[in-house]
Amino acid sequence: MAGQARVASTPMQILATTAIGALMYLIVTMFVPFVGGSVEQAMPSLPADSEWNKTHNTNLPDASDTWVSINGFLTIAAIFAVMALVFMFLRGMI
C-alpha cells in the first residue's frame, strides 16, 4: 500500500527503535561538543579590530553556551519522545 508509514508492531521492534534512538542521542550529546571545540581551535587569527574578535567584541556568544542551550532542548525532546512512546503503548496504538 503506497503512502502508508511503516510502524513497528512487535515489542522487539519497539525496543530496537528506542535503543537506536537512545544511541543516536548519546552520540550527538558526546560528539558535537568535541567537534565544536575542534572548530573553535581551528579559527584563524583575526585582526584586533575585527567584529569577530572576542577581545574587540565582547558580545559574541561562546560555542559552549550555545551547545548548553541546544543540549537542553534535545534532552527535553528525547523525554517527550519516550513519554509519547509510553502513552502510545498504554493506549494500545503500538
pTM for the complete prediction?
0.52
> What are the cell numbers at 64?
559552549
Between residues 46 and 8, the one the model is more confident about: 46
Per-domain boundaries in the chain: 11-42+62-91
**Burial of residue 32 (number of CB atoms within 10 Å: 0-12, 13-18, 19+):** middle
In this predicted structure, the answer to whether residue 7 has a pLDDT above a threshold of 70 is no
- What does the pLDDT look like over 34-67, one tens digit per residue? 776 676 666 677 777 777 777 777 787 776 677 7
pLDDT of 8: 57
The distance from CA 23 to its chain's CA centroid, rounded to whole angstroms, is: 11
Helical H segments across 42-91, by residue range: 63-91
User: Do 62 and 37 meet the contact criterion of CB atoms below 8 Å apart?
Assistant: no
> What are the cell numbers at 51?
567584529
In this predicted structure, the answer to whether residue 6 has a pLDDT above a threshold of 70 is no
Distance CA 60, CA 56 (A): 10
